Amino acid sequence: MVHAQFDPTAREALANAAVEAKIRKDLTWEQIADAAGLSVAFTTAAVLGQHALPEASAKAVAELLGLDEDAVMLLQTIPTRGSIPGGIPTDPTIYRFYEMLQVYGTTLKALVHEQFGDGIISAINFKLDVKKVADPEGGERAVITLDGKYLPTKPF
């Protein structure tokens, strides 16, 4: 049976324990995702408390991280999503994404609506990818792909 969480504190505590185990075992998110058999973005989000894992993936992740049966059960629950409590985020990396949406949010909205019409881009039927690429001018660039299904607004 599928169960939902309504108090994020249990998933937050599990995320803290999982990250601690990840560090202690010197694992990468990619290694954890490989064990789960899922994408690195989805697995990372799940371990950090934003998605439920399928049973086999939850068992594999818990085994790799040395977590108990309660963790296996909790990793399968539907979480209360949203990992940025209140107001403007203060972590510099998260803040820059907030800043990007502040600067380009209305542009993205205008372009999406011009090309697709009235509707939204799903964060449920969604794929995320992060790649590091060389910058021709020196250094490195981050290429972040957000790939969500378009859902049109339906009058009723």
- Catalytic residue numbers read 96, 99, 122
Task: Find the radius of gyration of the CA atoms of the chain.
Answer: 18
- Kindly write down the DSSP assignment for every residue of 82-124, as one continuous string: --S-SSS--SHHHHHHHHHHHHHHHHHHHHHHHHH-SEEEEEE
The H or E element containing residue 68 is: none
Distances (CA, A) of 43 to 9, 15, 50, 103: 19, 12, 9, 29
